[in-house]
Structure 1
């Protein structure tokens, strides 16, 4: 789509932005903003938008409507995506807490395993001694 379909007048006849020379002789567009960077700095600048050619104003209105629709279409799935990601993160957090609980339980089991291993070793040693004493007592009875 070309600009000529939006504006019946030639692009060459459109008003040129006001320019002035700044530092290093660079061309800078003179914007009519106040010192805060918001809104027009003078009442004449606010009227400049109202003084636009009706066709140009209509074209701007159409373009703004189209841009707004495109932005809304692109951003409309965003809340659902954020909600889904929040649910996924909450599920992951729950699983992480469960895993931490299992790891803590496993740490206590590992501590007991070392103690159980030492007790098993001691039990086998005592069992061997008991067998040796039993065999020695039988040996003396013969």
Structure 2
């Protein structure tokens, strides 16, 4: 469920990087392949939506092992970092009719758990000096 209250406390015009942590169902809930297959269908819809709002995928990859901290509850399958030019752009996408009707069903079919953490930049080697 989208945490509108938590996002409302953020500066809506500030850029944001969303840390996505995903754990997939073994089988897609709609019976159409694996959870990963459903996630690929989700991505096919959402990536153009992200780009249309000025966002970009910064990095994606398989989660391999918990290196520090308790392993229990942290057995994620996949991680994605997604940059949006503003919190408002993220909210616009997530609350759009297209996301609700075309993307979110695939996400629900794919993910046993999906956590998105809004982050603000403290340091980046990519920042212009």
TM-score when scaled to structure 1? 0.17
* Bigger share in helix: 1
Q: Which structure has the higher relative contact order (CA within 8 Å, separation 6+)?
A: 2
By percentage of residues, which structure has more strand?
Answer: 2
Structure with max Cα Rg = 1
